Amino acid sequence: MEPRRQHPNVNSRRQNGFTLIELMIAMLLGLVVMSGVISVFAQSQRSFKADKNIAGMQAEARFALQEIARDLRMAGFLSEPLNPASIFPHAGLAVGADCGVAAQPNWIYGLRDGVTGEINTVTTVDNATAATAAASFSCITGGEFRPTTDVLGTKRVVGNTTAVGNLLPGAVYIRANGSFGRMYITGAVAGVPAPFTDREYRPHIYYIRNFSDVAGDGIPSLCRKVLAWGAPPTMQTECIARGVEDLQVEFGLDPDGDGNVNAYLPNPTLTQMQQAISARIYLLVRTVEEDFSYTDARSYAVSNAPVYTPADNFHRRLYEITVPMHNLRNFRRLGI
């Protein structure tokens, strides 16, 4: 019996691979799929980076607003008695580097203006230049200051009292007993009869610096001059938020004393500041890093500052908060 013969084309069909055309089509489809995957990955990376930068910007803005708002709410809180005229500086109280009007030595410790006698626990310079900022706050230098931004000064004590045994060396306190108080440095004899309380004195001068870490780095920052402990204490710089391009503050004035704001002014005089019962804070904040897939073509009109049209690759937000100024309002009620 003869073996069964296979058709001559059976093995050849089984051994055939892809044709050149089929292989090219498969490669093309693979490239299309791979290109799509890479594009989605790249877009995801850009979105992640942008979201991270924006989240960082929002965190910086929240902290900056929180710090300024706390100082404005407590500005003028000087322990008991509330009246600044009843608090006297110790004779030996000095400051290494002052921050205020040059014609008024130790300005940072003064709770009233040396010329007018007005309470100066809140002071401001509107849309300052390097020269006008330094004229009111001598510790701000022209080379660090970002023009057409506001400068804000506050003076207060902290809310918590400090036990006598816990007073920090080189720190300034106000010791008060309800009738009068003394501003003094730890180690000096305050001369206030018991019972009394001690609270740390905490003046701050807020301003926008034109760099963050190193001069010329191009990252605007919200900084403040603080009273650093020492012998004697001295004003030093502390930067608290990067990417802040503008600080604008408007003050709600109550000239008729009915407890309601009649108008918000961006540039009150020190006399008008005695009528302030609230403040409106504006911060224009941008991301620290650029996003080259985005262009900010908007124009920003913040309070009475010049209109700003950046036309660059940074994301920006304008933040605003209104805070009451209870202590200045109480001064008014008490006829101080």
What does 125-139 look like in DSSP terms, one character per residue? EEEE-HHHHHHH-TT
Q: What is the pLDDT of residues 45-84, one digit of tens each?
A: 666 677 789 999 999 999 999 999 999 999 999 988 778 9
Backbone angles phi, psi at 50, to 5 degrees: -65, -45
pLDDT at 33: 79
CA 179 to mean position of chain CA atoms: 36
In this prediction, residue 328 has a pLDDT band, given cuts at 50, 70 and 90, of confident
Helix%, strand%, coil% for the chain, nearest 5: 25, 30, 45
pLDDT at 36: 73
Q: What is the distance between the alpha carbons of residues 3 and 179, in angstroms, rounded to a whole number? A: 127
Token couple for 144 = 């660090």
Q: What is the distance between the alpha carbons of residues 329 and 56, in angstroms, rounded to a whole number? A: 36
Higher-pLDDT residue of 136, 328: 136
pTM > 0.85:
yes
Q: What is the distance between the alpha carbons of residues 63 and 280, in angstroms, rounded to a whole number? A: 16
